[in-house]
Amino acid sequence: MDETRIAIGTRIKLAVLCATVFSVFYNVNAWYASTLDYVPSFIFSFEKYMPFMAWTVVPYMTSGALFVAVFFLCNTMQELRTLTKRVLFVSVVAGLFFLIFPLKFSFIKPDSTNTLFNFIFQFIEIVDSPFNEAPSLHIAFAFVFWSVFRNFTPTWRHVSAVWLVLLGLSTLSTYQHHLLDVVTGAILGQLSFIIFPAQRNNFQVRNFHLANYYFLGGWLIVLLSLLVFEFYHASGFILLWPALVLFLMGYTYQKNKVHFLKNNLGTIPWYKKIVYFPYIGVYWLFWKFLRKNKKPIMLIPNLYISSRLDHSEFQNFKGNRNTLVYDLSAELEENKAIIQNCQYHAVPLLDIGAFDTIEIKRIVLEITTHYKELPKDGKILIHCTMGFTRSTFIGILVIKNILSLPLEEALLKIKTTHKDAVIHGYLQDFLKTINI
């Protein structure tokens, strides 16, 4: 089948399949919950302040229409298959939770002064269930819808983003769901992206896969924060700080923002140190206690790779004004001794993420040129944070270019010289695509 042309019958069949699975799980579980003598509710104490906004029933009701429309908005068969898997996954997993942990909504809806809105709410009472609360399918489906809508043109992408946010908020403001349902719905939607990625083996979209893990971690910590607040202490809200940082990191990976922390001088502005303190702190601990190659490894004469060096390690390296340092680390500030005593170059790359081919070629060619022009006491140091992946990757390309080696020989030389080298399969595949 032509990937760019999908038969209308195929779209209809998959839409009907997903609608059927959703309907069966939803209605059977709603019936089961209605037969129970007692179905609990889960409400955070501050939710009583949630305002009822009748007009938001409009975006709330569009979820059903979007559920159908999204199958006709996919551009390729691969996108349609992925959408189908995610919708089925969300429907089945949510259905199992509805069965095992039934919950019901407990707030009483005020009457609206608007006749149309009252009519819609009466319709909801007939077709919707007060049970089947957590995780919210409205939220989980909104996440899945966005995976298709984000491919729209900029104007429509922004419009759809705003509408989906309104749809999500409407689950609370129409008194259809509690906050627990919303957060768990977001977790479920995020899980669907991780379990069913759009393009599993495409290096160019690797950052999106990594971003999903950061987003999932953010939602899990939001849930933990709320639970700590409710059952232990108000200090639980401090956990929203690392949650925010995880969301920011997810966005950073999506946009491949390599300069999200450090500037070209290798330093991190004070305000970023405050905002990203949980992230920087964790990376510093990894660097302090988990790195192995604390001594630079010489690949060829006067060319070294390493982790980020501390002050004493740099002194032992004996860098000078003719030492060129290429800092690939995006997470930690550069050692001040290196900035002050060497020719420093900030070329940050995101850890275990996708690399921009043009930028990689530029870095490798620049290092190669400088290497050939080194004075007698000159040397080049390429380092990242831990020294396992990014510096190894660039090191392979540099010695391949300098020595005119086939890729296999360059890889062998690195593995022989650097016993802790980490060359993931996806990086080896990417290396084969780079011609310098």
Q: pLDDT for 3-27, tens place per residue?
A: 557 899 999 999 999 999 999 999 9
Q: Once rounded to an integer, what is the mean pLDDT over residues 408-431?
A: 89
Domain region containing 53: 8-198
Q: What pLDDT does 293 receive?
A: 82
Residue 258 lies in a domain: no
Beta bridge partners of 345: 326
Given 172, 198, 224, which residue is the final one in a domain? 198
Same structural domain, 298 and 169? no
Residue 263 lies in a domain: no
Q: Look at residue 384 and tell me whether its pLDDT is greater than 90.
A: yes
pLDDT band at 110 (very low <50, low <70, confident <90, very high): confident
CA distance 136 to 139: 5
The share of the chain scoring above pLDDT 90, in percent, equals 85
Tens digit of each residue's pLDDT (9 = 90 or more) over 220-240: 999 999 999 999 999 999 999
Q: What pLDDT does 235 receive?
A: 92
Q: Is the dihedral of CA 91, 97, 100, 101 positive or negative?
A: negative
Same structural domain, 321 and 184? no
Same structural domain, 178 and 309? no
Give the orientation angle of helix 390-403 with respect to helix 357-372, to 10 degrees: 60
Q: Look at residue 2 and tell me whether its pLDDT is greater than 60.
A: no
Same structural domain, 162 and 275? no
For position 314, which CATH number holds? 3.90.190.10
Residue 256 lies in a domain: no
Domain count, the chain: 2
- Name the nearest CA neighbour of 360 among 229, 235, 219, 203: 203
Determine the residue type at 288: K
pLDDT band at 422 (very low <50, low <70, confident <90, very high): confident
Contact 140, 192 (CB under 8 A): yes
Same structural domain, 178 and 276? no
Residue 211 lies in a domain: no
Q: What pLDDT does 1 receive?
A: 41
Same structural domain, 43 and 192? yes
Residue 369 lies in a domain: yes
Same structural domain, 294 and 410? yes
Residue 45 lies in a domain: yes
Same structural domain, 160 and 68? yes
For residue 320, what are the contacts with CB-CB under 8 A and spacing of at least 6? 341, 342, 377
DSSP structure string for 202-250: -GGGHHHHHHHHHHHHHHHHHHHHHHHHHHT-GGGGGGHHHHHHHHHHH
Strands 297-300 and 303-306, by their bridges, are antiparallel
Same structural domain, 175 and 34? yes
Lowest mean pLDDT among 253-262, 386-395, 422-431: 422-431
Given 150, 170, 198, which residue is the final one in a domain? 198
Tens digit of each residue's pLDDT (9 = 90 or more) over 341-382: 999 999 999 999 999 999 999 999 999 999 999 999 999 999
Q: Once rounded to an integer, what is the mean pLDDT over residues 262-285?
A: 97
Taking the model in full, what pTM does it have? Answer: 0.94
Q: What pLDDT does 202 receive?
A: 78
Q: What pLDDT does 58 receive?
A: 94
Q: Once rounded to an integer, what is the mean pLDDT over residues 263-287?
A: 97
Residue 235 lies in a domain: no
Secondary structure of the chain: what % helix, strand, coil (to 5)? 60, 5, 35
Contact 133, 181 (CB under 8 A): yes
Tens digit of each residue's pLDDT (9 = 90 or more) over 135-190: 999 999 999 999 999 999 999 999 999 999 999 999 999 999 999 999 999 999 99
Given 198, 221, 243, which residue is the final one in a domain? 198
Q: Once rounded to an integer, what is the mean pLDDT over residues 287-306?
A: 94
Could you tell me the two tokens for 372? 């050939």
Residue 77 lies in a domain: yes
Q: What pLDDT does 345 receive?
A: 98
Q: Look at residue 322 and tell me whether its pLDDT is greater than 50.
A: yes
Q: Look at residue 127 and tell me whether its pLDDT is greater than 80.
A: no
Same structural domain, 194 and 337? no
pLDDT, the chain, mean: 94
Strands 297-300 and 379-383, by their bridges, are unpaired
Q: What pLDDT does 4 receive?
A: 55
